[in-house]
Amino acid sequence: MQLNFLTYNNQKNIIQDVKLHKLVIHRDQRGMLIETLKESWQDVFELPKHRFGQSYCSITNPGFARDEDKWHLHPTKQTDRFVVIKGSAVVALYDGREGSKTKHTLNLFLMGEKNGDDDQYLLFIPKKVLHAFCTVGNEPCYLVSYPDRVYDPAEEGRVPFSQAGVRFPDSTAFSWDIIRQQFKD
């Protein structure tokens, strides 16, 4: 099965309210610098709607998903902003929101170094959109998240893949193994 991975330069059939903000990579002999979130980026930081709550960085080893068989869900308030600063990941989003014009849409976002310097971006994930990620490639993925709220257990839901019923375009049930297969060397 051939999957369509979205990037900043390929946003075909993107889920309603999901936004990508292009990042600029500055490289020189010292290394690199990336601005990862600025208050002036109104598309992903519109105050007070998309405020800043906290920041955290996860480091996920090659081939691992943060949850192997569960989606993350923020049911009422929280939005997320993800940036991959090292390594690469596929971030899967599924729109199960009632009233959304993209309901039942699955998006697979390729983020990080596999895209090269000209296709790096911040991914804005609206509340109520199921999301998960898996490291692809041979090195750990460093993902920085900027949720708009401080951690609240009531806003940190999990939905088993088996309950969500998410399917790839060919009707195969969603599984990280299918994603991993796409990136085998």
Q: Name the pLDDT band for 45 (thresholds 50, 70, 90).
A: confident
Whether residue 14 lies inside any domain: the answer is no
Q: How crowded is residue 62: how many other Cβ atoms within 10 Å of its Cβ?
A: 16
pLDDT for 180: 95
Task: Report the CATH number that the domain containing residue 105 is assigned in CATH.
Answer: 2.60.120.10
pLDDT for 184: 84
- Rounded CA-CA distance 126/68 in Å is 22
For the chain, the helix, strand and coil percentages under 3-state DSSP, each to the nearest 5: 10, 40, 50
Average pLDDT over residues 164-181: 96
CA distances (Å), origin 25, targets 38, 144, 145: 15, 16, 18
- Rounded CA-CA distance 163/152 in Å is 23
What is the identity of the amino acid at 26? H
Q: For residue 113, is pLDDT > 90?
A: yes
Instruction: Please say whether the beta carbons of 112 and 33 come within 8 A.
Output: no
pLDDT for 59: 98
The pTM of the full predicted model, rounded to 2 decimals, is 0.96
Domain around 44: 19-182
Q: pLDDT, tens digit, for every residue of 133-153?
A: 999 999 999 999 999 999 999
Tokens 């804005």, residue? 124
Whether residue 12 lies inside any domain: the answer is no
Average pLDDT over residues 116-120: 95
Whether residue 56 lies inside any domain: the answer is yes
Whether residue 103 lies inside any domain: the answer is yes
| Mean of the per-residue pLDDT values of the chain | 95
Whether residue 9 lies inside any domain: the answer is no
Q: For residue 46, is pLDDT > 90?
A: no
pLDDT for 185: 66
Domains of the chain: total = 1
- Rounded CA-CA distance 130/161 in Å is 10
Instruction: Please say whether the beta carbons of 7 and 115 come within 8 A.
Output: yes
Whether residue 5 lies inside any domain: the answer is no
The H or E element that residue 161 is part of is: helix 161-164
| Residues, the chain | 185
∠ CA 131-113-10, rounded to 5°: 60
Q: pLDDT, tens digit, for every residue of 61-85?
A: 999 999 999 999 999 999 999 999 9
pLDDT for 108: 98
